[in-house]
Structures are given as structure tokens and as C-alpha cells.
Amino acid sequence: MAETHTQEQVTGIAQQRNVWVTGGVSGLFGGVAMGVLLQMMMTPVITTAIPAMYGTNGLVAGWIIHLFNSVVFGLAFAGAVVYLPGLSDYADRVTTSTGLGVAYGVLLWIGAAAIVMPIWLGAVGFPNAPPLPNFNPMSLVGHVVFGAILGALFPALGNR
């Protein structure tokens, strides 16, 4: 049996899909910028540490995993700013959304890079696992750049 949808429902579905696509694409662009910084400032992170979390190694594997994670974190940002009360008011303008993105990047740095990554690397037996917590300022710069680009692109791409 075929479902019928009103124009309002179809528009709502399209807008929801656009939010997810926009979050993923924005995360991908932020991840590329962050990855370039990581490769320049902290080469072993992209070539050995990130791939080691998944049982592999090398620059290509590091980039693929890093960009995958960037898309996932972009999708999480999209979900947060759309569905958490009050945040959607700030996610539709480039300036305020950039601020949300920077804050999100700092939260990712604290949670994912400083806490989860050292635990994960230790759990898989990575010989050069960083200390816990690992508040590396160069990593902070990368996460802030990721968040700023993610936050700036989210409304810019979503309003097209």
C-alpha cells in the first residue's frame, strides 16, 4: 500500500535529510583542515596513533579513519544543534554557529582526544599511548579548527 504525504511532511523530510547531509559534509571539510594540521604538526598521530586504534597503520589508513570520524562527529554536531533545546536558534547563522562549532571542537578535544584516545590506544596495546589525560595544545588547535569550519559551513551549506 502506497503512503501519501502532505507537502508539509515532504518538506520536513527533505529538511531533515539536508541537516544530516550538511552535518556530514561540514564535518568532512573540517576533518580535511584538521588532518592537514595534524600531518604538519603531529605526523605520528595521523600515521600511527589513529590507525592503531583500528588495528592498522600508515598514512592512507590514518586519513581514511580520521575523515570517517570527522563525518561521524559532523553528524553528531548536526543532531545536537537541531535537537537539543535552544541550540537550533544559534545554528542558522554563520557567526553563532561557528561559535558552537568551536565549543564543540573543545569538547571533542577533552572527551575524544584527551580521554578516550589514550584509553583506547592503551587497550589495543599501542606502545606509544599518550598519558591520560592528554591535554596536548597542538591537538586543541586542530580540534578548534575542525569545530570552526564545521560550525561555519553548517548553516552556509544548509541554507542553499
> Other C-beta atoms within 10 Å of 59: how many?
13
How does pLDDT run across 108-126, given as a tens digit for each residue? Answer: 999 999 999 999 999 999 9
Separation CA 62–CA 35 (nearest Å): 9
Closest CA to 117 of 144, 136, 141: 136
Q: Per the structure, how many domains does the chain have?
A: 1
Contacts of 24 (CB under 8 A, 6+ apart): 71, 74, 75, 78
Distance, CA of 58 to CA of 51 (rounded, Å): 7
- Decide if 106 contacts 147 (C-beta within 8 A): yes
Buried b or exposed e, range 4-38, using 16+ CB within 10 angstroms:
eeeeeeeeeeeeeeebeebbbbbbbbbbbbbbebb
For residue 92, is it within any domain? yes
Q: Please determine, for residue 45, whether its predicted confidence score (pLDDT) is greater than 70.
A: yes
The answer to whether residue 2 is domain-embedded is no
* pLDDT tens, residue by residue, 70-115: 999 999 999 999 888 888 888 889 999 999 999 999 999 999 999 9
Q: What is the pLDDT of residue 158?
A: 78
Is residue 7 situated within a structural domain? no
The whole-number pLDDT of residue 159 equals 65
Q: What is the pTM of this model?
A: 0.88
Is residue 4 assigned to a domain? no
Domain assignment present for residue 154? The answer is yes
84 CB-contact burial (10 Å; exposed 0-12 / middle 13-18 / buried 19+) = exposed
72 belongs to a structural domain: yes
Q: Domain containing 86: what range?
A: 20-158
Domain contains 13: no
